[in-house]
Structure formats: structure tokens, C-alpha cells
Structure 1
Amino acid sequence: MYATAPPPGGVRPPTSSVELSLSAKSLKDRDIISKSDPFAVLYVKSGSGWTKLGKTEAKKDDLNPTWAKLFLVEYHFESVQQLKVEVYDQDSSSPDKLKDQDFIGGAEFTLGQLMGAPGQSGSFLLTRGKSTSKHQGSLLVKAEEAKASSEAVRFRFSATSLANMDGMFSKSDPFLIISRLREDGQSWTQVHRTETIDNNLNPNWRVFELPMQQLCNGDPKRPLSLQVFDEDRGGKSDLIGHVQTTFEEIQGKRGTNFVLHNEALQKKKGKKYTNAGLLVATEVEIFRDHTFIDYLRGGLEMNLIIGIDYTASNGPPNDPRSLHFIDPRGPNQYQHAISATVSILQEYDADKQFPVYGFGGIPPGAYDVDHCFPLNLNPSNPEVAGAQGVLQLYTASLGHIRLHGPTFFAPLINQSMRIANQLSDPRKQKYFVLLIITDGAIMDMQGAIDALVEASHTSPLSIVIIGVGPADFSSMVALDGDGGKLRASNGRVSARDIVQFVPYNRFVGYPDALTRETLAEIPRQLCQYMKPGYPGQGPPQGYQQGSYPAQRGYPRQGPPHGAAPGYPGYRG
């Protein structure tokens, strides 16, 4: 959430983090044959526009969904904070593109309106357009102050002898839902749902992690509800059994059975009823959920890699309509994007030296298009000093690099992976950010996805893509991964989200907002990389100061044939 300007004297008013949970009732069905698969998107008003804070999961065939996704927002008592929720029916053929989903309805409200309501919850009509008479259902939003906690819990649950809800010829398809009692003592907030295990009365669910704040808001005595359901993909899932407990009790009874109860089943079976099954927490481990600031305090170094688009769709640099035109009256979009990002990230880089690459152009002395060439024409050391050095090199390169195409990302991503892996140092934690500035849709989508999936498993790397110009960037949204995990051509899925896409045009006139949006996901992505099970626990070997991995097509010892190590008028 964007902070307000501090009051006179430089003292910022006290703020709180507030957790929002969303549910809906009686949604208008947008599907003809089946029920809608609704999901919700939360926005905050920023200037004259709206900024997306995130989206929930889709709930299949459910017109009364309770979404598990929780949203953390910063609450400023002294400010009007306008929020908007839009509910859509997910189209499975293109789940990543919001414009392709069926819009069910939306609602606007202020955070203050919610916080001042009884029980800090509010019900809002979902409407399409300005007419409230054509409501599409109702939205329920619940707020609760989030208690700060740096601890998280790693769980594994299993169950035995579950009641079979599917009759004689098949078995239940169980999943587990964990909910916590809200502070009002009357309603529950879902905090986690496991995967479904088909046709199994003795399921062993995968390990999962929950922050203590999300699980019980930092209170180990907060009542928790554990419910096991039999999934019915064509309708409402059946409750197999439930038990109420606390995290304190779960931790104390690790490895001990919890008896699941089902009152309806007990009434039906009478004296033959014993229980609905047994649930056990086979793994309960508390660990410190380190923050981005923890890593910075420990000496983590951020390293920036930059990729600049030299495809012909940018337009000739000497044409005032070109995205590469150097206008003495002010920076072009490439210059602005470089300044907005590099000026922030360089503060976390000890030597403030960044490798800079071009792609989609023909560098001096070369005859074919190159999809990853060092902008200073020195493959052995493509580093440039500071934000001003990057801007000077970019300006000097225009007119000497022939714009070409097509737009390929995979070579640049692969080179960045090599840098991140080979320059990692066990003596000092490092994390790399690849900034790609581009003007159009990529032509190697599957190749780029394959590279991104590989990077998500192996490399200390995040990727920020800034789209400049008026092109259609719908393909970039798919790379962002907000709609689900990326899948490589070999079937492997991404281990973590490492991409943030930002359309420049949305932030024209708001330079600070562009910077915030561009860098917003990096702390979370870095912390996820450092968690157990990810390669951040044991960084790759092989760091040598000033030595960069050789690029395909370029000899290590020098620049391309016939190229001078630089441009006229530029001193790197």
C-alpha cells in the first residue's frame, strides 16, 4: 500500500497492518451448464487510478465462495484509503488474462468504513456499472489487525480410517481445511487448504508452511478448526469430520491422533458410529521466518543485471516518435525506467557495477542479430558503473547498434542465470535482479518459460520486466505467474514466482509509484528463495571478482570481430 506523506516535523503517524479476508454470497451464475468458478481481485486507489494488491484463488463450481487468500494492507487512520474488489468467473482456457474472464461484479469501500463497522466486517452489493438495482450477489469483507510475528510453522498432516462418503464403489477424495476463530468469537477465517488426494481413506498430505500471524495471529491459544472434506468436483464437498483445537495443543500432541467428529453421520449410524476418522499432525516445526531486512542486516548484497531492447519496433533513434529518441527536453521511457530502478537497487550493491546487455539488435562488427550482447562490447567484463554510467552507455550505443528483431528473452535469462550461479559466494549471500526493458510481445514464449522455470529452481534471481510504449503486453502477464505456476515444455512447474511485469504507461507522471511497483515483489521473492527446500540454503560455488561466464557466440577474450571496445564519445 502506498504510504502518505509524513506530517510537518517528519514524524509519521502510527500505522497498523490489517488482514483482510473475502467471501461472497449468492453470486450471479455466469456459466450455462455448470456453476461459476469465482475469484476476487483487490485494488487500492492510487492517485487517479487503481493498483492491484493481489487476487484470490478460484473456487470451482461455487456461488458462495470463501477464499483462503488473505491480504495484508497498511492502515492509516488519518487517510481515506479507497479499496475495490472485483469478482470474476475464471475461464480455464486463459486463466492468466483478466480481460478474458467473465466479470461478475464489483464493490468499492474505504478501509476506514470497514474498520469502523461492528466486528470490523462489512457486506457490500456486487454491481456491474453504476446501477445498484442489478446486483450480482454480495461481498463480505472481514478485517483484523495483524500481530507482528517473525515465526512460521511447517506442518504435515495425515489421516486414517476416514469415513467413506462415496458409497460402495469408490472412496472419498479428502482435503483438509484449517480455519482460525476471529476476534469476535463468532466467525471463522480460513487460513489454509491442502491438496486433494483422490480415492484414499488414509491420506498423507504434502508438507506446507504458514506464518504464525496467518495461522493464529501470533496467539497459540487461538481456537482452530480442522475440517476434512470429501471433494465433489461437480457440486458441494461433503464434510467427513472436524475437530476444534489450538496450535498449542497441536504442537503438544504431535504424532497423536485427533478424533474427527461428524454429528450428521453419528445420527445416521446410531450405535454403530464410533468416529469419522483420525487426524494426526506428523510434523510440527516452528522456525524463524526471516525478513528481507534480516538478510540485509546480515550483509546480503543485491546485484543488478540490465537488458535493453534494440528491436526495430522501437523505431529509428533519430525519429522523434521513436522510443529510443534522445529528447533534450526530458528522458525517454527507457531512460526513465533505468533511473527509477537502478537508483534504488544500486544502494544495496557494494561496488555499484552492473552488467548491461542489449538484445534484438546487431552490435558493431556483427552481421547477424544477437539476442544477448554486452552493451559495452566487452564480453569478459560487461559491467558499467552506477545509474549514470548505464544511462551514458545507453545513450552512446544508439546509432551504433542496428535495430532488428525478433524479441527473444530466453538467451538473456539464461545468461543471467549463469551470472547468478557462477558469481554466488558461500562467504557472502548474494541475490540478483534482472531488469528487462522492452517495447513489445516476445516471440520465444515457451523458450522464455522454460528458462524461467529453470531459474526458479536453481538461481538466486528475480526478473523485473518493464513494458514501454503502446504495444500489447498481454503475453507478459502470463510470464508474471500471478495466475498460477509456469509450466515448462518438459512438464516441470516453477518452484517460486520470480517475475514482476510493470507496464510503464500506467505510471506516467508518477515516478515514485513506478519505482514502488517495479521493486515491490523482490523482498518476498528473495525470502522465498532463502527458505528450506530452495537452493538459497547452499549457494552455488565458483565466484571470482570481475570474471563473467562466456556467452554463446562470443569468445571470452574479446569483443565481436571488428568491434571496438566502446562507442565514439563514450568512456566506460
Structure 2
Amino acid sequence: MQFCANKLDKKDFFGKSDPFMVFYRSNEDGTFTICHKTEVVKNTLNPMTIKVEVHDFIGEFTTSYKDLCRGQSQLNVYEVVNGKKKIKKKRYINSGTVSLLSFSVESEHTFLDYIKAGTQIHFTVAIDFTASNGNPSQSTSLHYMNPYQMNAYAMALKAVGEIIQDYDSDKMFPALGFGAKLPPDGSVSHEFPLNGNIENPYCNGMEGILEAYHQSLKTVQLYAAAVQDGSQYFVLLIITDGVISDMAQTKEAIVNAAKLPMSIIIVGVGQAEFDAMVELDGDDIRISSRGKLAERDIVQFVPFRDYMDRTGNHVLSMARLAKDVLAEIPDQLILYMKSRGIKPCPPPPAYCPDDHAQTTPI
């Protein structure tokens, strides 16, 4: 809705008013509840177009959805009435007018609307296997394979993975590794398939990834860049100890990725400081690179140690972990779709039995 106001009463002794509008909705018991406040328009009696008490306090008027739907017309020019002035002054008419300039109704699509419409969510998992994690053969390593319990990487992967795989269309996860020395020559690779199959780097479900856990993946950009019509959305899950040796390049990659249909989840394991991860998260300050601000926030970071339940209730703590790491995905997907003007397609028709099928009454 857009309104403009004219010739509102002065409320300030030395100057004009600073008007703003407060919208209420009616309740069943006859009371009203505030549902929106506009911004204050400074020092004017004729505020510019603003998005129904008129405050500073000037007066009020009432309207209805039915009336507003009629759009701009004389029917939607409202007298702003101050009840106290009306009682005190016999010749009082009004404290100004408010006119409706335009009115439209837009549907707000939800995350589930896109899922129901067939948008495919594809997850990619990344496990940091750089030297900062320590030698996997030693118990001090974050990758140490204890025969009696899972390490932090495996626990984080299992906790989040068992949730996200239910949103993945085919439960086949492309898995490319980084930061490990590969046989036979021991060269360090930052892009290799976990399963050793260059042509088909997909793992079947979380169990498949856990089986291929000795390696990890780095980026999903090459998967996401070509599909930007809203039919697919990609999520990169990175499990890392938080050590970043190329922060500038990482920021640049995230700023570029913000234009793509993708989100990045980072789970930090170990006891290191995660200041760099918090910076990448961008909740407080939007991430930027070379003076260029990211189009949207696509990173969600959580430190795994905050979810280690000292009472031993790992089921509950892992459920909290999964909930928090996935918390921002719906809004990030919706923001991408809205910025591109992509609306969910009508969902496929529900299956209906043959209308002509014969039934036997009981």
C-alpha cells in the first residue's frame, strides 16, 4: 500500500510535525493490535509517499480490506480525526487527510512452496583434510579413527547429513576432496573424488559419504553455475577445523557464489578459534571482496563443540546441531528466488484413483 497525507496538524511548537502511520488490525473482542509502523517523515505536514493512526499524535481513521481493494479513488480519501479536538472545538472538521495512492496484494512464497513445486535441493559435503587437523593415525588428530566412537568430523557429518539427505532429491551426493596427499606420488590435490571415480563422484546417502570419509570435497560452483532458473538449488556442507590460509580468495569465492542458487553450511570442529568462520558467516557484517559486497548472505557457521552434550545425550545435541545449521537455508533460497523473480510452479497434480473404478458398498 502507498499513502500520502495532506495538511496535517502542526504538533511541534517551533516547527512542523514529524508524522508517521501506525496500522492496526481488529481483534474478535473489538480491540486493535499494531501490525505495522511506517518510517517517520521529518519536518513536513505533507509527507511524501509512505508505505491507521497518524501519529505525533494527529488523529486516526479506519478502513477495510474491501475498501482498499478499490484502489485510488474518492472512496479512499480519509479524514484524519482527532477525538479530543472534536469534543473541544465545535467548528473542528479534521486534522488533515490521507489518500490511498495504490494498493496491491502479493503472495509471499515459502520454502515448502518451492519444494512442493519441484525445486530440487542438491547437497554437497566438504570435509577439511588439511595438515592442520593432525595425523589421522594419532589420537590427537581431529580425524583419528577411534574404534570405539566416531570422531568429531564423523559425528557432525552424521548429525547434519541424516537430516539434509531427506531434502536431497536423489540422496546422491557429489563428493570432491581437498587438502590431502594422493597416491601414488603423494601430490596434494584440492579437487579429487572421494570414491576415486572421476567420471561419477557421487556417494549414496550419508552412509556412502562416511565410507568415503578419508577424503573431502571443496566446491559445488561448477555444479550450480549452469542452473539458475529456480528448478535446482545447491547446498555445500563444509566440515573443517577452521584454519584458512587464503582468506582473501575465500571471500572472493563466496561473494561470487552469492549470485548462484546455492548456500554454504560450515561446521567447525576442534578447539581452535573460529573468528574467520564467524566473519564468513556474515550475519553481523555482510561479507565483501575487493570493495564488492555479497549480493546476499549465503553462509551459516556453527561450532560443533557448542553442541557436545556433557551428559552424554548425543541424540538431543545432534538434533540441535542439525536444526541450527539448516536454519537459514529456507530464507536464503527464498531471497535468491525473489531477487530473480522466480515463483514456484504449480505443484504436480496429486494422484487420483480412476474415477470410474467400481466400488462395492458395505
TM-score by length of 2: 0.71
* Residue 320 (structure 1) shift: 0.7
User: What is the correspondence of 1:509-520 to structure 2 with a 5 Å cutoff?
Assistant: 509=314, 510=316, 511-520=318-327
Q: 1:422 to 1:278 in 2, by over 3 A?
A: same
Instruction: Say which is worse superposed, 192-201 or 511-520, in terms of deviation.
Output: 192-201
Structure 1, unmatched stretches of 5+, are 1-155, 207-225, 230-237, 399-410, 540-572
Structure 2 residue identity aligned to 1:534 = R
Match of 1:459 in 2: 260
Q: 2:64 aligns with which of 239, 246, 257?
A: 246
Q: Cα 1:160–1:359, aligned 2, differ >3 Å: closer, same or farther?
A: farther
More strand as a share of residues: 1
Q: Does 1:439 align with 2:246?
A: no
Query: What pairs with 1:168-187 in structure 2 (closer than 5 Å)?
Result: 175-186=20-31
Matched-pair contact (CA < 8 Å) for 2:41–2:47: no
The CA RMSD measured in Å over matched residues stands at: 4.1
Are the equivalent residues in 2 in contact too, given 1:258–1:278 (CA < 8 A)? yes
Please state whether the residue corresponding to 1:384 is helix, strand or coil. Answer: strand
User: Are 2:168 and 1:349 aligned?
Assistant: yes
Structure 1 residues 239 and 475: alpha-carbon distance in aligned structure 2, compared to 1, 3 A threshold:
farther
SS at match of 1:244: coil
Q: Note the 1:118-133 alignment, pairs <5 A.
A: none
Q: 1:267 to 1:436 in 2, by over 3 A?
A: farther
Q: Which has the higher contact order (CA 8 A, sep 6+)?
A: 2
Cα 1:374–1:244 change in 2 (3 A) is farther
Alignment of 1:65-214 (within 5 A): 156-161=1-6, 163=8, 175-186=20-31, 188=33, 190-195=34-39, 201-205=46-50
**Separation of aligned partners in 2, 1:245 and 1:446:** 54
Alpha-carbon separation, structure 2, partners of 1:445 and 1:268: 68
Shift of 1:435: 0.8
- Whether 2:219 is the aligned partner of 1:419: answer no
Shift of 1:306: 1.7
**Deviation digits for residues 511-556 of structure 1 (CA, Å, limit 9, x no counterpart):** 333333333433343344434x4354499xxxxxxxxxxxxxxxxx
Pair 352,249 (structure 1): closer, same or farther in 2 beyond 3 Å? same
**Structure 1: how far apart are the matches of 2:201 and 2:134?**
26
* 2:78 matched residue in structure 1: 258
Shift of 1:278: 1.6
Matched, 1:534 2:354: no
Deviation at 1:319, TM superposition (A): 1.7
1:278 and 2:109 are equivalent in the alignment: no
2:294 and 2:21 mapped to 1: Cα distance?
23
Q: 2:148 aligns with which of 321, 329, 346?
A: 329
Q: Could you tell which deviates more after superposition, 430-439 or 274-283?
A: 274-283
CA displacement at 1:325 relative to structure 2: 0.9
Is 2:279–2:287's contact at 8 Å kept on the other side of the alignment?
no
Give the CA deviation at 1:166.
6.1
| Contact 2:71/2:103 (<8 A) preserved | no
Is structure 2 residue 157 aligned with structure 1 residue 338? yes
Q: What is the alpha-carbon distance in structure 1 between the residues aligned to residue 37 and residue 282 of structure 2?
A: 20
- Runs of 5+ consecutive residues of structure 2 not aligned to the other structure: 309-313, 346-362
Q: Could you tell me how far 1:446 is from its partner in structure 2? A: 6.8
Deviation at 1:304, TM superposition (A): 0.7
SS at match of 1:245: coil
Query: Which residue does 2:136 correspond to in 1?
Result: 317
Task: Find the aligned partners of 1:447 and 1:261 in 2 and give their Cα distance.
Answer: 60
Q: 1:385 to 1:262 in 2, by over 3 A?
A: same
Q: What SS class does the counterpart of residue 220 from structure 2 fall into?
A: helix
CA distance in 2, matches of 1:447, 1:320: 32
Shift of 1:177: 3.6
Name the structure 2 match of 1:383. Answer: 202
Q: 1:391 to 1:285 in 2, by over 3 A?
A: same
Q: Is the 8 A contact 1:342 1:387 kept in 2?
A: yes
1:486 maps to 286
Q: Give, in angstroms, the shift of residue 323 of structure 1.
A: 1.1
Percentage of pairs with the same residue: 34
Contact kept? 1:315, 1:323, Cα under 8 Å: yes
Q: Determine the structure 2 residue equivalent to 1:430.
A: 232
Alignment correspondent of 2:299: 499
Report the CA distance between 1:348 and its aligned residue.
Answer: 3.8
Matched residue type, 1:422: A
| Distance change (3 Å), C-alpha of 1:261 and 1:529 | farther
